[in-house]
Amino acid sequence: MVFICSVATAQLPINWIDPLNEGVLQGRLADNDITGYNRLPDSVKSVVREPVWALGTNNAGVYVNFKTNAKEIQVRYTVSGALDMPHMPKTGVSGLDLYASNNNGEWYWTPGDYRFKDTITYSFGPVKENSHRIYRLYLPLYNTVTWMEIGVSSDATIEFQKEEESPIIIYGTSIAQGGCASRPGLAWSNLLGRALNTPVINLGFSGNGRLEKPIIDLIANTPSRVIILDCLPNLTGVTPENTERIDSLIQAAVYQLRASQPNTPIVLTDHSSGFNKNILDETDNTLYEQTTQAGLASFEKLKQAGVKNLYHLRNADIALDINSTVDYAHPNDFGMVKISDAYQRLIEQFLR
């Protein structure tokens, strides 16, 4: 009896696979001209500011889709940055997240056991086998994976999958990058990708989402289903000069994108915070609200100039409340769901 038990529980060797060798990373602009798990192509390194490049090595929104009949899925990896932030835990900054969809678009989630050591490990399962299930492994939101392997039992099969559909591209700030979700799948960009069952590319750069030309150039050259410009939280200011700066950046970005992608819907988004009389913070309220007003004026100008397929996501549609952020600027998971829901409602109006 003891012998039988020990045979039954003996584990087969693990077959470790480096997804970089498979060329199957999703959630980024292109597969060529790109190093490791970076989000930005090498070609822009010389034209973007240094912090934009550094944040582009973070893996926000990057994911891998695969099918496997394995009961357990293991991942081991190393990262180069700090593991957490005061307002965002290791699981969000440096962790992984494993969701799955079936063949009718329904989504599932697989909790993982994690160890944050020099080599970080996640173990997912045991799960019941289902041949229709496509797993989606999200990479860290605020850290840079330097090496990663996905492991399944050597008697299991694993088949990577790649979506070829045009993506929604999000250009944004720390909020779009995923601060401060408790795990990667809860960044609003990743929530939205699942809600719409559409590939999403996350170009959120913490503190550095400033509607800059090199990033607009990249977006312009990537055929997209929707382009979201959600940069106002990194363009805050109350001076007339700042209002002019915002207008100038928005006009330049929208006209350039419209020229290269005449029919792609473009969404301009208010600052998600501000306009809440139940939040007691005079300084930030003024800052956020005046910034949103400046963005709105620029949006109205574009509409009056006849720019088509231009949409506006209002602060009031997002409707963050007194429990939705960790520090007023950055949504917690509750706020992330609100932001994703608001985008979904808007986008479903024009995306069929």
Question: What's the min distance (Å) between Cβ of 209 and a second copy?
Answer: 21
Which helix H or strand E contains 113, and what residues bound it?
Answer: strand 112-115
Are residues 175 and 80 in contact, defined by beta-carbon separation less than 8 angstroms? no
Beta bridge partners of 269: 313
Question: What's the min distance (Å) between Cβ of 323 and a second copy?
Answer: 6
Question: What's the min distance (Å) between Cβ of 338 and a second copy?
Answer: 9
Considering the complex, state which of residue 298 and residue 325 has its C-beta at the smaller distance from a second copy: 325
Are residues 11 and 19 in contact, defined by beta-carbon separation less than 8 angstroms? no
Question: What's the min distance (Å) between Cβ of 7 and a second copy?
Answer: 21
Report which DSSP code applies to 166: P
- The amino acid at residue 102 is N
Distance CA 154, CA 158 (A): 10
Question: What's the min distance (Å) between Cβ of 49 and a second copy?
Answer: 26
Considering the complex, state which of residue 206 and residue 243 has its C-beta at the smaller distance from a second copy: 206
Burial class (CB in 10 A: 0-12, 13-18, 19+), 106: exposed
Considering the complex, state which of residue 187 and residue 257 has its C-beta at the smaller distance from a second copy: 187
Considering the complex, state which of residue 23 and residue 126 has its C-beta at the smaller distance from a second copy: 126
Listing DSSP states for 9-26 in one string gives HPPPPEEEE-HHHHT-EE
Interface residues toward a second copy, by CB under 8 A:
84-91, 99-100, 106-112, 114, 116, 124-128, 180, 182-183, 185-186, 191, 278-284, 322-323, 325-328, 332-337
Considering the complex, state which of residue 336 and residue 346 has its C-beta at the smaller distance from a second copy: 336
Closest of 191, 201, 141 to residue 170, by C-alpha: 201
Considering the complex, state which of residue 100 and residue 347 has its C-beta at the smaller distance from a second copy: 100
Three-state secondary structure call for residue 203: strand
What is the DSSP pairing of strand 134-138 with strand 63-68? antiparallel
Are residues 247 and 211 in contact, defined by beta-carbon separation less than 8 angstroms? no
Question: What's the min distance (Å) between Cβ of 173 and a second copy?
Answer: 17
